[in-house]
Structure 1
Amino acid sequence: MRMKSSEGTARAQPIYLALAGELEASARALSPNVLFPTEDQLAQRYGVSRPTVRRALSLIEAKGLVRREQGRGTIVCPPKFERRLVPPRSIIKDFRDQGYHLDTRTVSLDENFQADPSLHRQLAGKGKGGVACLRIVRSVADEALVYETHIFQSGLLRKIDLARIESESLSKLLVEGSGLEIVNSRTIAEIEPCNAEVAFHLSVAVGTQVVIQRFQDQLASGRLLQAGEMHYRTDRIRFSIVQNGSPYADGEADLLFP
């Protein structure tokens, strides 16, 4: 198949975008972990230049359909994992309910973490207690998917068994250790390029786009139980919201769908 030139056509689709659509369809039709055709083969097949092929491949690589490995070539990726956001549940329970075993590896535990003064006050209150920072990586079958940081009162470390984070959420352990209940949770999600620390632990290139969930769990007193971040690989995880009943019961459907 030869790609048709779009030069001189108003609002024409660039050739690399049209090629990316063809390559996406091909990748979805192949089995996971098989070799994708080489750049030379694709350039010859579609009658385009290698830079055009390379640009098209970068688009479907960003979608998580293929990955390029030095010395091996381009590999078709397995389907993405799904992170279900609604109804709320811990990532451990979410993956367990889907039949996946989520491995948890502790990267570091800093029992005297230097949080910024505002966050320190929200976590420790007016006392002189310190705060701790726990960094962990979540993976499935040795493939790193999520890098997390959790900041909380260091005094809680004496009251919880961190070995349990293999099978239970840290939020649950902190609630048990504090004897208090979370009354409010706030999460903000953004897509940002990752820094060197995150890239290293997720085995991706520095600057790769990741989804960051920044969260805070608040107690009835107004103090925070914990705060932190979860960095998700966008090439391996997609997000879903499933809600029973109509989400537009308050009559706003016509505003969302004019």
Structure 2
Amino acid sequence: MSRNPGTLLHRQLFLVLRDQITRGMYLPGTLIPKEDELCEMFGVSRITVRRAVSDLEQLGLVKKQQGRGTFVCEPKADKRLGTSLSFLDALTKTSRDTVAKVLIVETQRAPGAIALQLRLDAGAQAVHAVRLRSANNVPLVLTDAWVPEYLGKHVTRSELRKRPLFEILLAEGITFARVVQEVTAVAADPNMAGLLTTDVGSPLLRITRVIYDEGQRPVEHLTAYVSPERSRVLMELPHSAINTLSAGRITHDLMV
């Protein structure tokens, strides 16, 4: 276990045990090691072990039985086996299955990197919208979106409370034709951690999308942050896409 300042031992232990359970090291119906065994194995206190196991139980991965120990639960139905959805269908499903809280809507100068990707002139204004999507009062996705000012006249706080951003853009007559997506990992800063109810410094998936219209103009820059404890990225590639960039690629940013 890392003892560096700011690292939470119970969170580290939780992540290790969760990974071992999901990889099948501990099968459904079997016991995980007892508290004293985990204390000895990882060099942590009993309190740390109890907090980690409690987090596993809240996720439905284990179940404590008085006097018997902690058993691994049967896995829930795998939602990854569902029918594939188009890009717009997936956006529609997300908006239908979650509730959005609008945190920020303002017109301001687009940051340099975002302005570059939206092909805006230096100092150009853009509409900035930040929202938090939740389900059953559990925060799931923090989104940070930028839209060129000429397209964002109807992107207001009141409109975003009624409908998702992509529907506002479609109502403007925009047709989505291409999406470039990048997935990376970042550490949660205090603001993100507070909104997503996770620990400061815990890993988050950062999904960045640039959406283009039929004229190949970038019309939206969206960054979404999710906790890998609650969310994952699912892709299905048809045979025709296997030998194209649609299948994605790993790029490396190295100091040369």
Rg (Cα) greater in structure: 1
* Bigger RCO (CA 8 Å, 6+ sep): 1
Per the TM alignment, residue 169 of structure 1 is displaced from its structure 2 partner at its CA by 3.8
Measured in 2, the distance between the counterparts of 1:187 and 1:233 equals: 18
SS at match of 1:191: strand
Is residue 2:40 matched to residue 1:49?
yes
State the partner residue of 2:93.
94
SS at match of 1:211: strand
Q: Deviation string for 1:133-192 (max 9, x for gaps)?
A: 100001101100110000012344433565554675412312322x33233211111122
> How has the CA–CA distance of structure 1 residues 156 and 28 changed in structure 2, closer, same or farther, with 3 Å as cutoff?
farther
Q: Deviation string for 1:48-67 (max 9, x for gaps)?
A: 52744679x88xx6xxxx66
What root-mean-square deviation, in Å, do the aligned CA atoms of Structure 1 and Structure 2 show?
4.5
SS at match of 1:111: strand
> How has the CA–CA distance of structure 1 residues 143 and 118 changed in structure 2, closer, same or farther, with 3 Å as cutoff?
closer
Measured in 2, the distance between the counterparts of 1:143 and 1:90 equals: 23
Structure 2 letter corresponding to 1:173: I
Structure 2: runs of 5+ lacking an equivalent: 1-15, 61-75, 245-256
Structure 2 letter corresponding to 1:224: P
Is residue 2:105 matched to residue 1:106?
no
Measured in 1, the distance between the counterparts of 2:218 and 2:59 equals: 40
Measured in 2, the distance between the counterparts of 1:90 and 1:54 equals: 48
Measured in 2, the distance between the counterparts of 1:54 and 1:94 equals: 43
Compute the TM-score of the two structures, normalised by the length of structure 1. Answer: 0.60
How many percent identity over aligned positions?
Answer: 11
Measured in 1, the distance between the counterparts of 2:163 and 2:93 equals: 11
> How has the CA–CA distance of structure 1 residues 204 and 127 changed in structure 2, closer, same or farther, with 3 Å as cutoff?
closer
Measured in 2, the distance between the counterparts of 1:19 and 1:195 equals: 23
SS at match of 1:197: helix
Is residue 2:202 matched to residue 1:211?
no
> How has the CA–CA distance of structure 1 residues 27 and 167 changed in structure 2, closer, same or farther, with 3 Å as cutoff?
farther
Structure 2 letter corresponding to 1:42: K
Is residue 2:236 matched to residue 1:237?
no
Q: Deviation string for 1:221-257 (max 9, x for gaps)?
A: 443211120111100113333456687699xxxxxxx
> How has the CA–CA distance of structure 1 residues 237 and 28 changed in structure 2, closer, same or farther, with 3 Å as cutoff?
farther
- What count of residue pairs does the alignment treat as equivalent? 209
> How has the CA–CA distance of structure 1 residues 192 and 67 changed in structure 2, closer, same or farther, with 3 Å as cutoff?
farther
Per the TM alignment, residue 43 of structure 1 is displaced from its structure 2 partner at its CA by 2.9
Measured in 2, the distance between the counterparts of 1:132 and 1:170 equals: 11
Measured in 2, the distance between the counterparts of 1:103 and 1:81 equals: 23
Structure 2 letter corresponding to 1:94: K
Measured in 2, the distance between the counterparts of 1:20 and 1:187 equals: 27
State the partner residue of 2:111.
116
Structure 1: runs of 5+ lacking an equivalent: 1-16, 31-35, 69-73, 251-258
State the partner residue of 2:131.
136
